[in-house]
Amino acid sequence: MDEIVRFENVGLRYGAGAETLADLNFTLYPGSFYFLTGASGAGKTSLLKLLYLSQRPSRGIIKLFGEDAVTMPRERLPGFRRRIGVVFQDFRLVPHLSAFDNIALPLRVAGVREKDLEVPVAEMLEWVGLGDRTSARPATLSGGEQQRVAIARAVIGRPEILVADEPTGNVDPDMAIRLLQLFEALNTLGTTIVVATHDIHLLSKIPGAQMMRLEKGMLADPTGSLRHPPLPNDQQQ
Ligand SMILES: Nc1ncnc2c1ncn2[C@@H]1O[C@H](COP(=O)(O)OP(=O)(O)OP(=O)(O)O)[C@@H](O)[C@H]1O
């Protein structure tokens, strides 16, 4: 497959107001790493929702894995969503499940046997620095710890696309880099990564990444094409 996502003239309008997203035209390629940047309110979360199929556009065409995601029958959506890992801005952990069970969820849904999930889940807990919080429920974890559980849950099933909305917003700079390294490792295994972030400093940490910048609901590059991020020196201001 030479493309994994294609948006053609996509617009999104909530209710009767002006369009929140307008004239989006872009293609994402398998195995690439993308940052989505833009000021608060520019429409990053809205664009990600279109990508992980929790929101339908008001106009345009969205192709995902080579198929038309807009006209797809509803009963096929869950199968498609399973191919996409999502780190939500508000985490959305299951409150009555432990950190371990939250992370194990995608594997259990995929039918992985109990004896086969212990090791990968424990390894993932270690990787995100929560090896000693295995049994903790979300309410007893800090915001940053919950964020790390949410990331571990999104990546453990090795999704074909990983969509992450401000995934480092609640962690310190060292942990932010560590989490980006986790995304990079997943990317090396072939997952297409889309990370929405305000944090311009993160962009230089993944030299091969490409950048999409939203301005008031439109991709800032007039051609709508993806651009490489500026060189690290340009980001110092
Ligand atoms: N469900 C909704 N109903 C109506 N308006 C919405 C809805 N969701 C988002 N909006 C509006 O759409 C615009 C873009 O919001 P969005 O959350 O996509 O921006 P963002 O770039 O992700 O912002 P932030 O960085 O603050 O998360 C905002 O003006 C917001 O108020």
pLDDT digits (tens, 9 = 90+) for 17-60: 899 999 999 999 999 999 999 889 999 999 999 999 999 999 99
Question: For a pocket test of ligand 1, which of 10, 24, 46 has the largest count of ligand atoms closer than 8 A to its C-beta?
Answer: 46
Give the type of residue at 16: A
Q: What is the mean pLDDT of residues 212-235?
A: 62
Q: Whose CA is nearest to atom 1 of ligand 1?
A: 14
DSSP sequence for 75-118: GGHHHHHTTEEEE-TT----TTS-HHHHHHHHHHHTT--HHHHH
Q: Whose CA is nearest to atom 3 of ligand 1?
A: 14
Q: Which alpha helices (DSSP H) does the chain contain, by range?
A: 44-51, 77-81, 99-109, 114-127, 143-155, 173-188, 200-203
Residues in the chain: 237
What is the CA 17 to chain-centroid distance, rounded?
Answer: 27
pLDDT greater than 50 at residue 151: yes
Q: Give the pLDDT of residue 171.
A: 87
Q: Give the pLDDT of residue 78.
A: 86
Whole-Å CA distances, 223 to 23, 50, 94, 137, 142: 11, 20, 41, 46, 42
For the entire predicted model, the pTM comes to 0.89
Instruction: Give the phi and the psi of residue 5 in degrees, each rounded to 5.
Output: -140, 135
Q: Whose CA is nearest to atom 4 of ligand 1?
A: 14
Q: Whose CA is nearest to atom 29 of ligand 1?
A: 41
Under the banding of pLDDT at 50, 70 and 90, the label for residue 203 is confident
**H/E run at residue 207:** none
Under the banding of pLDDT at 50, 70 and 90, the label for residue 214 is very high
Q: How far is the CA of 38 from the centre of ligand 1 (A)?
A: 12
Q: Give the pLDDT of residue 146.
A: 94
Cβ atoms of 127 and 155 within 8 Å: the answer is no
The token duo for 171 is 């962690």
Closest atom, ligand 1, to C-alpha of 89:
27
Closest atom, ligand 1, to C-alpha of 43:
18
Under the banding of pLDDT at 50, 70 and 90, the label for residue 221 is low
Cα separation of 179 and 130, whole Å?
13
How are strands ordered across the β-sheet holding 21-28? Answer: 21-28, 5-12, 59-64, 67-68
Please give the angle made by the CA atoms of 111, 117 and 123, to the nearest 5 degrees.
145
Instruction: Give the phi and the psi of residue 61 in degrees, each rounded to 5.
Output: -120, 135
Residue 21, ligand 1, Cβ within 6 A: no
Q: Whose CA is nearest to atom 2 of ligand 1?
A: 14
Q: Which residue has the tokens 């080579």?
A: 66
**H/E run at residue 35:** strand 33-37
Closest atom, ligand 1, to C-alpha of 38:
21
Q: Give the pLDDT of residue 103.
A: 97
Of residues 82 and 139, which shows the higher confidence score? Answer: 139
Q: What is the mean pLDDT of residues 111-130?
A: 94
Under the banding of pLDDT at 50, 70 and 90, the label for residue 1 is low
Q: Whose CA is nearest to atom 18 of ligand 1?
A: 43
pLDDT greater than 70 at residue 235: no
